[in-house]
A and B are shown apart, each in its own frame.
Chain A
C-alpha cells in the first residue's frame, strides 16, 4: 500500500522540493542589488520670522475684558442658555435701559458683543455669539433704535470671563455685552 502511494507521490515530491528552496533558513546571499539613492533633503521651507508681523505683548484696553472679579452678574450683560440665542433672562430689563439711554443720547452708538462658552467648535461658537448679539440688536430695534447705531460683533469662545471647565464658567461666558460708545 505504501509502495503504491510512494509511486504516485514521488514525482510530486521531487517537483515540490525544487520549489521549496527559499522557504526556510537557506543561507541568504549578500544582496547584490544596490540601495536606492534619495536626493539630499534640504531644510525647512516656511517663511523666516522677519517676514511675519511681529507684535510685542502689550496691555489690552479694558473694555474688552468686562468680567466682575467675583463673577457676579454685570449690569451690561445678558446671559443665554446653552446653544441658544434667545433672550430668556432680562430681569433688569437691560434692553430697555440701554435703549432709553440711546434715545436720550442721539449720537451715542452701542456695540453689542456676543460670546459663547468654550464647548464645541470655535467657528460655530463665533456664529452663536453673533446670533446672540444679533438677537439683542433686534430687540433694541424694536425699541426704535436705528440699525446703524448698533454694531454687532462676536468673539465666540475667544474671550471668556471665566476659565474653569465647568457649568459655572460656561454660564458666565454665554453672554452679550452692551458697550456704549
Chain B
C-alpha cells in the first residue's frame, strides 16, 4: 500500500524493500537479470536522494515505483512460477525417466528371471542329453574295449605263433640224443626282442638235447617284435614237446 506521506520510517522501509527485492531478484532470477536489477537499483537510489525536495514528484514517483515493483514482483512471481513449473516439469521428466528406468529395471529383472528359468531348463535338458551321450559313450567304449581285447587276443596269438615258428625253424633236434618228455626253457628278452638269458629246467633229456634247445633259442634272437606294445612280455616260458618220435 502506498501512503501519501513520506516519513523516515517510510523511507527506510522503502530502501529496505528495494534491497530486499534486489536480493530476491538476484537470488531467484540469477545472474542474467542481475545487471538489469542493478540499474534499477541505481536509478532508485538516485531518486531517493531527491526525495526531500520533491514530494509530489516523489509520491508519483513512489507510485510509479511501487507499480514497477509490483510489476517486478509479478515478474518475479511469474518467473518463479515458471521456474516452478519448469522444475516441476523437470521433476516430472525425471520422475518419468525414473519411472521408465524402474520399469525397465523391473522388466529387465523379470526378463532375467525368465531367462534364468529358460537357462536352467535348457541346462537340465543339456544335462539329460549329456547323460544320454555319456551312456552312449560308455557303451561305445565298452564295445571298443571288447573289440580291443579281441584284437589283442588275436594279436597275442599271432605273436606267440610267430615266436614259435621262428624257434621251430632254428631248432635242430640231434636225433642221436635221448629225450624224454617235455623240457622247459625260461627265457628273458628285451623289448627289441633280443634274448638276454636262457635257463633250461625240468628236463630229463640228455646234454646234447638240452644244448639243442639253448641253441635254438639263441639262434632265434631277436625274437619277432610284439605287434602291440601291450603284448610284450620280458619273461617267456617255452616248453619243448616234439610230437612223435
Interface residue ranges, A against B (CB under 8 Å): 5, 9, 12-13, 16, 19-20, 23
A123 shortest CB reach to chain B, Å: 29
Contact of A13 with B191 in the complex, beta carbons under 8 Å = yes
Q: Which of B204-245 contact A (CB under 8 A)?
A: 221, 229, 234
- Report the separation of the CA atoms of residues A20 and B192 in the bound assembly, to the nearest whole angstrom: 11
Q: How many A-B residue pairs have CB under 8 A?
A: 19
Residue B141 at the chain A interface, CB threshold 8 Å? no
Q: Is B190 an interface residue (CB 8 A)?
A: yes
A16 touches B229 (CB 8 A): no
Pairwise interchain contact A5-B229, C-beta atoms closer than 8 A: yes
Least CB distance from A26 to B in Å reads 13
The 5 closest A-B pairs by CB, nearest first: A16-B190, A19-B196, A20-B194, A23-B194, A9-B191
Please, what's the 1-or-0 string for B172-212, where 1 marks a CB less than 8 Å from any CB in chain A? 00000000000000000011101110000000000000000
Q: Is the interface of B mostly helix, strand, loop or mixed?
A: loop
A-B contact sample (14 more), CB < 8 A, given A16-B190, A20-B194:
A5-B229, A9-B191, A12-B190, A12-B191, A12-B234, A13-B190, A13-B191, A16-B192, A16-B194, A16-B196, A19-B196, A23-B194, A23-B195, A23-B221
Give chain A's interface secondary structure class. helix
Q: 5 pairs across A/B with beta carbons < 8 Å?
A: A5-B229, A12-B190, A13-B191, A20-B196, A23-B194
Complexed CA–CA distance, A38 and B190 (Å): 42
